[in-house]
Structure 1
Amino acid sequence: MSESINNREYRQKVLKEIISGLHEGKSVEEVKGLFEEAFNGVAASEISEAEGALIAEGLPITEIQKLCDVHAAVFKGSIEEIHQPEDQSLIPGHPANTLKRENRALEKIIDKQLEPYLQDLSSKESLVAVKEGIDRLSKVDIHYIRKENLFFPYLEKYGITAPPKVMWGVDDEIRQQIKGVKELLSKDAATDELRQEIKAVIERVKEMIFKEENILLPMLLETLTQDEWKLIAKESDEIGYLVETVPVWNPAAQAKAAVLEEAKETGVITMPTGLLHSEELIHMLNALPFDITFVDKEDVVKYFSQGEERIFPRTKTVIGRNVSNCHPPASVHIVEQIVEDFKSGKKDHEDFWIKMMDKYILIRYYAVRNEKKEYLGVLEVTQNIKPIQEITGEKRLVTKSE
């Protein structure tokens, strides 16, 4: 443990030395060797921790921003981050996929509408093409707004604050550079200054693409839950996109479709006390005079019945969600405690009862265990017991239908 602490302290010290060198006028090439030696093989998250520690000590964000170019110079083409087994950035409609698609669109603008015309800006054709290219490139603002307002808040929620602050600062610098190029283009004059400013903007945009995909994206994929990604996907529509079509990403629907397909193939469910067709089982459970919900041992909602009169609303999007995300913050701790007691074997059931308008609701939780007493999940049973409480006397005859 002490060695780990000392390593972290050493790396923070190295970062300070690098920042001091950059502040004194050293180039990226001059300091990148020191950075590579100290951080070779270290995950991006630890670099972020080191930067966060320096900010906590009072080092200005603007100084940390200078490290961005060092990151890119050292790791470009050789970053080996820890990725999830399934590359979510390949899933159409996933925000990670959309981020990469937009970056490809930005690269296309640079490759097709800007760089080919920079050598000869004196022609009217070249100047018009560059103006159109810069106008399209300026829409990178949409890309950055989504990143800053949807990605960064979740990283900050998990205590990752330094990278978002630094990257946001660089985003603003790129915005200002593009604005400056537009002002030069408005004068319709092909100057060396204009050419150099356009080249500088192109280089900064390319560097940010690299940082997003090799530093920011692995950090996001490693940290965010599926439910958080779903919220980002949903809210992204409010901001807009750089690409024309972004398909709807609905992992719950995809999971449900896979389950339904499997059910179609098997058709019959075999149980110790009998056989039921899936259709029979579905409608039998829906006919019960109470609502049931099953959460598996991984705390994932797997099933709920669909009786005609549900007490609490349930939508199909709940399937596949963690049960903690399905309850209000004020009551989620109660649910988590119940599940913890069931898993530990401390309890096998828990009951609650509440009055709700003209109903008296009994909510019962049961630990579901196999024959070896191994925990499989929890069953929630919800019922309006007011009609039962009002029963009096006896009924021995079948009521005749009118």
Structure 2
Amino acid sequence: MANKMKDFLPKIEMEKMQILLETEEKYETGQITLEEAREVMRTKVGSIRPYHIAYMEQNLKAGDDDECIRVDMRKVMQMLDGFMDNSRPELPADHPLTHYYKENDEMRRLLLAVEDLVQYPMIKNQWLELYDQIRRYPVHYQRKQNQLYPLLEQKGFDRPTTTMWNFDDLIRDEIKEAAQLLEEGDEERFIAAQAPLVAHARDLMEKEETILYPTSLALITPEEFEEMKSGDREIGFAFFSVAPSSASRSPRPEPHSEFAADLQALLCKYGYSAGTQQELDVTTGKLTLEQINLIYKHLPVDISFVDENELVKFYSDTDHRVFPRSKNVIGRQVVNCHPRKSVHIVKEIVEKFRSGEQDKAEFWINKPEVFLYIVYIAVRDAEGRFRGVLEMMQDCTHIRKLTGSQTLLTWVGTEDAQDGSGGSARPEDAAETAASQDGEKDGAEKTSDALELSPDTRLKDLFAAYPHLKKELAARYPSFKMMNTPLGKIMLKKATIRTASERSGLGEEQLMKLIRECL
């Protein structure tokens, strides 16, 4: 790993790095004073860059899972003050790192509001309004874990995955637990939870901006940052939305593209490569590559595949995906795709599948509003050799509610899908319902131009009147894709244009305008 990270950075003077490490450790443990540490920096180390700290931590320092939480960044920065440039880099407005900085700036503003409110008698509505915004921040961590960390791993810098991920999850959980205490009305415990949350969130933001982001800028190429943008939009942003850039809407043609196309056609002719329309012999039929991808896209379940080397090789990109994924996960070690607290479970599953001791592992998440089923299957070839792990995930909330039998055709979404005894509705009733719905649809189309919208209009009512609206919104703004997830379906029960505008960052007027355009 040491050599790999070194390959992507300017020249590293190892003697200086060793002195820096020893000085930092002595200062942190109280063996030398701040003045003594700074004197060593002045005489033996000199100026350094943020990636020097990252390189030292990655390759010279023995770490543990809680290191990022334990280390006091402010104390380290006192020692490095004047020796390391800590200024924020000048970046384009649509750069992925710009969005991380922007989210941190907003989170800092919210934390100041927390410190202000704790001084006064508690007014629950004020806190509810504030926490409605704070609860959006953890999507910042989702992007880091699914987008930024995988790229850094490829460059030999996996310290964020192995240590910072724990800090991410700690703050995410503190926000969630504080919000729960607020909902339950436990004022004393809620107020007590604010100080550690503020301290932890600020410390992590400082670690991000002092080391993580500058090191990312040194290791990741502009082309890789450009590719990152679509995955970032797919996962979403904490306090705003980001429209596709003109570059991503109109990708530049690859050089020598005509030659590549001619070469592919020639290879296909002699059976060495398959184009999207060439049929492939699959186990029980013939499918084109396009058909295979369409099948995966429309599966009612999410699947992922990890090969025998424990590398993630594939996931199905469905609109109803349960948990966020991005293409940066491909080629990544599977243990680096999970929080540290669950890595031992992942390792145990792989080990028992590899040894042949087990073939299947099941998990499920059972909550009042949602039931998620997760299963892992050992993949073996015809000779019984272990070839990988298949993960399947499904939102089974609707399936668990089904009762009786349905043996006649009734379209999904029809109000009277079943009669009271669990039997199917009669065909003639279904025909009448369909005719009624057609009439309603015609009326809706005639009145859509005059549609009255307000901040209190419920999205659930809009989607019932205009079934195509949800899909159209998701197509225009990727952040609306979350409406198809289990969590999104729960939120839709109460969501209004006002709450949706706050979560998407569009603003009420802009969202209402977008809805009218979609209709």
CA distance in 2 between partners of 1:167 and 1:38 (Å): 28
User: What per-residue deviation string (whole Å, max 9, x for no partner) do you get for residues 67-102 of structure 1?
Assistant: 252335555798515987xx22xx222211211222
**Contact kept in structure 2, 1:95 and 1:233, CA below 8 Å:** yes
Aligned to 1:53: 59
1:238 counterpart SS class: helix
2:48 to 42, 48, 61: 42
In the superposition, relative to structure 1, how do residues 14 and 163 fare at CA in structure 2: closer, same or farther (>3 Å)? Answer: farther
CA distance in 2 between partners of 1:105 and 1:164 (Å): 24
In the superposition, relative to structure 1, how do residues 38 and 208 fare at CA in structure 2: closer, same or farther (>3 Å)? Answer: farther
Aligned to 1:237: 233
User: What per-residue deviation string (whole Å, max 9, x for no partner) do you get for residues 218-275 of structure 1?
Assistant: 111122112211121011122111133313235588998xxxxxxxxxxxxxxxxxxx
Aligned to 1:119: 119
CA distance in 1 between partners of 2:226 and 2:270 (Å): 36
1:357 to 247, 251, 269: 269
In the superposition, relative to structure 1, how do residues 171 and 10 fare at CA in structure 2: closer, same or farther (>3 Å)? Answer: same
1:292-303 matches, within 5 Å, as none
Aligned to 2:100: 99
Aligned to 1:285: none
Q: CA deviation at 1:109?
A: 2.4
The reply to whether residue 221 of structure 1 matches residue 222 of structure 2 is no
2:242 counterpart SS class: coil
- Deviating beyond 4 angstroms after TM superposition, the runs of 4 or more aligned structure 1 residues are 18-21, 30-40, 72-79, 81-84, 250-256, 353-356
- RMSD between aligned residues: 4.1
TM-score, with structure 1 as normaliser: 0.53
Q: CA deviation at 1:183?
A: 4.0
1:43-192 matches, within 5 Å, as 43-55=49-61, 57=62, 59-63=63-67, 65-69=69-73, 70-72=75-77, 74=79, 79-81=84-86, 87-88=90-91, 91-112=92-113, 114-120=114-120, 122-123=121-122, 125=123, 127-191=124-188
Aligned to 1:290: none
Q: CA deviation at 1:163?
A: 4.2
1:159 counterpart SS class: coil
The answer for unaligned runs of 5 or more in structure 2 is: 1-11, 272-519
**Contact kept in structure 2, 1:92 and 1:247, CA below 8 Å:** no
CA distance in 1 between partners of 2:237 and 2:95 (Å): 13
Letter in 2 for 1:357: K
In the superposition, relative to structure 1, how do residues 103 and 313 fare at CA in structure 2: closer, same or farther (>3 Å)? Answer: farther
**Contact kept in structure 1, 2:136 and 2:239, CA below 8 Å:** no
Q: CA deviation at 1:15?
A: 3.9
Q: CA deviation at 1:50?
A: 1.9
User: What per-residue deviation string (whole Å, max 9, x for no partner) do you get for residues 156-208 of structure 1?
Assistant: 211122244332222122123223423432442433x5434212212322232
Letter in 2 for 1:41: S
In the superposition, relative to structure 1, how do residues 132 and 313 fare at CA in structure 2: closer, same or farther (>3 Å)? Answer: farther
User: What per-residue deviation string (whole Å, max 9, x for no partner) do you get for residues 322-358 of structure 1?
Assistant: xxxxx99xxxxxxxxxxxxxxxxxxxxxxxx965418
**Contact kept in structure 2, 1:184 and 1:194, CA below 8 Å:** yes
Q: CA deviation at 1:35?
A: 5.6
**Contact kept in structure 2, 1:181 and 1:194, CA below 8 Å:** yes
CA distance in 2 between partners of 1:62 and 1:153 (Å): 20
Letter in 2 for 1:128: N
2:138 counterpart SS class: helix
Aligned to 2:20: 11
Aligned to 2:289: none
**Contact kept in structure 1, 2:68 and 2:164, CA below 8 Å:** no
In the superposition, relative to structure 1, how do residues 118 and 81 fare at CA in structure 2: closer, same or farther (>3 Å)? Answer: closer
Count residues with an aligned counterpart. Answer: 257
**Contact kept in structure 2, 1:150 and 1:232, CA below 8 Å:** yes
Larger-Rg structure: 1
Aligned to 2:300: none
Q: Structure 1 stretch 145-154 or stretch 31-40: which is displaced more?
A: 31-40
CA distance in 2 between partners of 1:312 and 1:176 (Å): 49
CA distance in 1 between partners of 2:111 and 2:23 (Å): 35
Letter in 1 for 2:209: E
CA distance in 2 between partners of 1:9 and 1:78 (Å): 16
Aligned to 1:393: none
Letter in 2 for 1:173: L
Q: CA deviation at 1:110?
A: 2.6
**Contact kept in structure 2, 1:102 and 1:242, CA below 8 Å:** yes
Letter in 2 for 1:234: S
Letter in 2 for 1:167: M
CA distance in 1 between partners of 2:226 and 2:13 (Å): 36
Q: CA deviation at 1:4?
A: 4.3
**Contact kept in structure 1, 2:54 and 2:215, CA below 8 Å:** no
TM-score, with structure 2 as normaliser: 0.42
Aligned to 2:354: none
CA distance in 2 between partners of 1:110 and 1:65 (Å): 19
Q: Structure 1 stretch 215-224 or stretch 142-151: which is displaced more?
A: 215-224
